[in-house]
Structure 1
Amino acid sequence: MDVAEKQFTELYGRHHGDVWRYVARRVVGSDVGDVVAEVFLVAWRRLSDVPSGSALPWLYGVARLVLANEARGRRRWQELTLRVAAEPDRSVTVDHADEVVSQHDIAVAFSRLPDADQEVLRLVAWERLTAAEAAVVLGQSRATCAMRLMRARRRLRAQLGAAGEGTQRVPRTVPSMSDWGG
């Protein structure tokens, strides 16, 4: 075991429980382990930055930033599910109950898509890239990416139809968060 491994092992052994409790007071469920793992991954990568006399406050600071990133990710996910399902026609009016059902249906439908479909939809809806820009990210021609995007949208609509079969109706458009006063 080299010096860095030994230093990290001691850091982990000494502070893992404290970091776990810090995160557990702020996160519910199985995400605690993921956040703690991310904290110690950062500590491993930046081992030379960890203060020797006050490592625990530094680890708490890292945990706070990891938690903030997780929160941003959740907000982006919610925005993504709304934008992916929305179509240009915003004239359809839905009541709040339809919006809640629709959000759930969108999340379920999106999760059932293949990873490749999810990625192209995220690039266009979440990152707000054009099909041409998404093509660069994916290392594809513009035409190939445009076709992938069209097919991914078609599969998402099909999934939305399947998810909404048990509901009264699935709205064709979903209002933005600002429409809800958020």
Structure 2
Amino acid sequence: MDVAEKQFTELYERHYGDVWRYVARRVGGSDVGDVVAEVFLVAWRRLRDVPAGSALPWLYGVARLVLSNEARGQRRWQELALRAAAEPDRSVSVDHADEVVSQRDVAVAFGRLSAADQEILRLVAWERLSVAEAAVALGQSRATCAMRLMRARRRLRMQLDVVGDGVQRATRATPSMSNWGA
């Protein structure tokens, strides 16, 4: 057994029960074991970051973050379920042409943005991170991240205007169906 394995084994044996109780007081049921396993996985991966004299508070901090991630994931699933329930009945025949054109416009406009603009927008809009969380993910200050997000949103709006204008010009140039003859 090497030094790291020995250090982790001691950490695990000494604090497993405390971490288990900490998590169990915050969540119930079968999720406790999964959360505790995730805490010790993080501890193994970041063994060098575990403070020598205060490992238990550090483990509690990791547990708090893991629980926060779990709660955020559950909220996302619940929001998704609510959005799915609110969707109109797809068995009814409806013309979705405007929705398809709108989605295509967004995709084209988004594709015209720089990779950096796309990433900040993905983190905030798709991953639903706050500006502070996105700043951590990008390794930037909160202020820098907020400014980048504002600028990326502005550039996306400008691209949407450009793409929308192009669609309107193409629509005006295309003969209407009534002129196609039968």
TM interval, shorter chain, is 0.3 to 0.5
- Greater Rg by CA: 2
Q: Tell me the TM-score normalized by structure 2.
A: 0.48
Query: If the length of structure 1 is used for normalisation, what is the TM-score?
Result: 0.48
Structure number with higher helix proportion = 2
Q: Which has the higher contact order (CA 8 A, sep 6+)?
A: 1
